[in-house]
Structure 1
Amino acid sequence: MSRVPHGPSRRLLLAGALAAASAAVTGCSSGGDDSSGGAKRLRIGYFAFPSGDLIVKHGKLLEKALPGYTITWIKFDSGASVNQAFIGKSLDIAALGSSPFARGLSGSSPIPYKVAWILDVAGDNEALVARKSTGVFDVAGLRGRTVATPFASTSHYSLLAALDTAGLKASDVKLVDLQPQAILAAWQRGDIDAAYVWLPTLDELRKTGRQLTSSKRIGAEGKPTLDLAVVSDDLIARDPKAIDAWRKAEAEALRLLKSDPDGAVKAVSAELGISAADAKAQLAQGVFLTPEQVTSADWLGTDGDPGKLRSYVSDTAAFLAGQKQIDAAPSADAVREAFYLKGLPDVLK
């Protein structure tokens, strides 16, 4: 198969963003000031994926911290659609994988947002699984096979990294762009041989599949992926105090994951509509940092002293450019300016 194209133009992305965001918001709680730039409104994009975001949402931690604000939670399926929504100015804050974030910084018109928090580090909660019936036992065995993943996601990045390590090019397999639910349907029909995807779809594939590698292993080999949280430049300009309150809520959620694991399981179970046992198992597969680790030199860093995450983003972009997934990696200055660290770590107290 020929290599994956760079993707649609920004004009097409914008059109898709407006349609997707409009559909996503329908049915969500809303009200109050919804005018453009309204300081009392926060539109938050999240994934149906075990993380502190679900604890913040379920416990209404942000609503408690910001009385008088209209908080709208909008569910997305992948980082590509989150990027589109930011282009369409339909989001203020959102979860976003490190790979789609690196993509968003590339090109002549980088998306106007900045990373402001780390939700989790990808572990065994994202993995590459092959159907047992294929007889494939390792990544090298995927040559000529049909492999699905959501394009422009952390899973897509990790899949490319896994293929590269195994001595394969993207063109050595037939790559198919599918969202998680579509991956499950294609798997059940027998249309695909393997898939790189995240929970909870991943657990469904494991029932009849064989895990070949995971993001935890790929990260240990030098290509880590993370679930970040980004904020729009517009929100930074108009309401930095709301960002401080949001970061405090996310920090509280990370602490609750450690101090009240049963409560965390209950929240994730309720938000995902799964059993407590399944929620506990899924949470165990993620790598959740403490707030102190998030703001350490090893990860996000602090105001005036950015951490290693900056180099992780640069390395990710360089790899994507080498794989011809983006035209060119963003400059060091562009990456440096794509971090919002003001007030850290003091605002978490």
Structure 2
Amino acid sequence: MPARPSRRTLLLSAAVTLALAAGTTACGAGDTDGGSAGRVTVRIAYQAIPNADLVVKNQGLLEKALPDAEVKWVKFESGGDVNTAVIAGSVDLGLAGSSPVTKGLSAPLDIPYKVVWIHDLIGDNEALVAKPGIGSVKDLVGKKVATPFGSTAHYSLLAALTAAGVEPSAVKTIDLQPQDALAAWKRGDIDAAYVWTPTLGELTRDGKVLISSRELARQGKPTADLGVVTNAFAKKHPEVVTAWIKAQDQAVAQTRTAPERAAKSIGAELGLTPEEARRQLSQLVLLSAREQAGPDYLGTPGAPGKLAANLRDAAVFLKGQKAVDAVPDASVFGRALAVEELARATN
């Protein structure tokens, strides 16, 4: 897969422009907004993924918890773009897939952030879809396959090819965001795509799912959407991070106790009917704060969870694909789990 150094430069430029457009007046953690003296500005990167993060956004749960803060939500198309925005100093908190987070914690990026939340465990909402006539992953040899580079979908695509005995170099992989992949699909420019909902639903109307991220998780290649916070912001504004975790936990609880209300909010954010939003929500596994403090996930202070090992395994895989320069020591991923912040919010 050829390197594309110009893409990172372009994205950095775009992120800086986005930060200016959002009205940020400085890049320091938790800087007060120039138009609201004394108010903390919280800049949150979100994506169009049908999980509880959209419930928090739509219902203003964080704004209600922090009435004296200026909360700014900025939409991104992929975790790779979120990483770029963090590097540019444009966001404080954000959602990114486990693959982009792994890359962010590895060289050459070495982003100073940590995982503070698991938004969802990816299941059937992310999958590899192919045009009619392509019956298996092995049939993709010589074909054009689109996926957002550096995303969980990209990681899963490489894992699917490897599991099927297909050399990634034997497939013409194209770097496209989900909506761009859909446009290319309709034009007939690509043969398959590994993307997530809601674009995934559009592709399956006339395409065939070859494998999903749920199946790959069963094969030992799990992926997740993670919440990250910059180290500087977490240190300067622990009360904001605590409120954010509690808002996310409240939204997860709502998906269980009042799923119709949660689905209505998610549907409003994605332009979907509540019924379709609830269907897409069911394709994900959401965890409460206390569940995330378990040994299989983030863990507790002094006992980081298995998520650290999963991220390192992803780094090993990405190093094999030359997507990162080196695999960090296991301790890097252990320190990157915000167990102190999670424990503070659950006590």
TM-score over 0.5 (shorter chain): yes
Matches within 5 A, 1:231-246: 231-246=229-244
Q: Residue 172 of structure 1 corresponds to which residue in structure 2?
A: 170
Deviating more after overlay: 299-308 vs 66-75:
299-308
Among 202, 223, 226, the residue aligned to 2:224: 226
Residue correspondence of structure 1 range 184-199 to structure 2 within 5 A: 184-199=182-197
**Structure 1 partner of 2:28:** none
- Map residues 106-145 of structure 1 onto 2, 5 A cutoff: 106-132=106-132, 135-145=133-143
Describe the shift of the 1:139–1:105 C-alpha distance in structure 2 as closer, same or farther (beyond 3 A). Answer: same
- Shift in Å at residue 67 of structure 1? 1.1
Aligned to 2:286: 288
Residue in 1 that maps onto 2:271 = 273
What is the aligned partner in structure 2 of residue 262 from structure 1?
260
Note if contact 1:13-1:87 (Cα within 8 Å) is conserved in structure 2.
no
Equivalent residue number for residue 322 of structure 1: 320
**Is 1:313 matched up with 2:316?**
no
**Alignment RMSD, CA only?**
2.0
User: Distance between the aligned counterparts of 2:19 and 2:174, measured in 1?
Assistant: 24
* Alignment partners' CA distance in 1, 2:82 and 2:315: 18
Give the whole-Å Cα distance in 2 for the aligned partners of 1:74 and 1:10. Answer: 19
- In 2, are the aligned partners of 1:251 and 1:348 still within 8 Å (CA)? no
Task: Point out where structure 1 has 5 or more consecutive residues left out of the alignment.
Answer: 27-31
Quote the Cα distance in structure 2 between the aligned partners of 1:197 and 1:21: 27
Alpha-carbon distance in 1 for matches of 2:205, 2:9: 41
Matches within 5 A, 1:1-349: 3-5=1-3, 7-8=5-6, 14-23=12-21, 25=22, 33-35=32-34, 40-132=40-132, 135-349=133-347
Shift of 1:20: 4.1
Classify 1:120/1:347 alpha carbon distance in 2 versus 1 (closer, same or farther; 3 Å): same
Which secondary structure state, in structure 1, belongs to the residue aligned with residue 119 of structure 2?
strand
Q: Deviations over 1:271-323 (max 9, x none)?
A: 11111121111111111123222111011112222100000000001100011
Aligned 8 A contact 1:149 1:196 in 2: yes
Deviations 1:6-57 (A, max 9, x none): 745876653343134445x37xxxxx9325xx76110000001101110101
Distance 1:7 1:215, change over 3 A: farther
Change (3 A) 1:196 1:11: closer
**1:89 aligned partner, one-letter code:** G
Question: What CA distance in whole angstroms lies between the structure 2 residues aligned with 1:219 and 1:7?
Answer: 31
Distance 2:108 2:3 in 1: 18
TM-score (norm 1): 0.92
Letter in 2 for 1:252: Q
Q: How many residues are treated as equivalent by the alignment?
A: 339
Aligned residues of 1:6 and 1:327 also touching (Cα < 8 A): no
Structure 1 residues 226 and 109 mapped into 2: Cα distance closer, same or farther (>3 Å)? Answer: closer
Aligned partners of 2:18 and 2:90 also within 8 Å:
no
2:339 is paired with a residue of what secondary structure?
coil
Q: 1:83 is aligned with what amino acid? A: N
Name the structure 2 match of 1:29. Answer: none
Cα distance, 1:139 vs. partner? 0.5
Change (3 A) 1:96 1:52: same
Over 3 Å counting, the alpha-carbon distance change for 1:11 and 1:180 in structure 2 is closer
Letter in 1 for 2:289: P
> CA–CA distance in 2 between the matches of 1:76 and 1:178?
14
Q: Secondary structure at the match of 1:344?
A: helix
Q: Which amino acid aligns with 1:67?
A: P
* 8 Å Cα contact 1:120-1:286 kept in structure 2: yes
Alpha-carbon distance in structure 2 between the residues aligned to 1:329 and 1:9: 23
Q: Aligned equivalents of 1:78 and 1:9: distance in 2?
A: 14
Question: Counterparts of 1:129 and 1:109 in 2: how far apart (Å)?
Answer: 31
CA deviation string 1:121-178 (max 9, x = no partner): 000000000011xx11110111110000000100000000000001111111100000
Instruction: Check whether the contact 1:45–1:74 (CA below 8 A) recurs between aligned residues.
Output: yes
Q: Is the 8 A contact 1:140 1:166 kept in 2?
A: yes
Q: Find the residue that maps to 2:269 and give its secondary structure.
A: helix
1:331 is displaced (CA, Å) by: 2.0
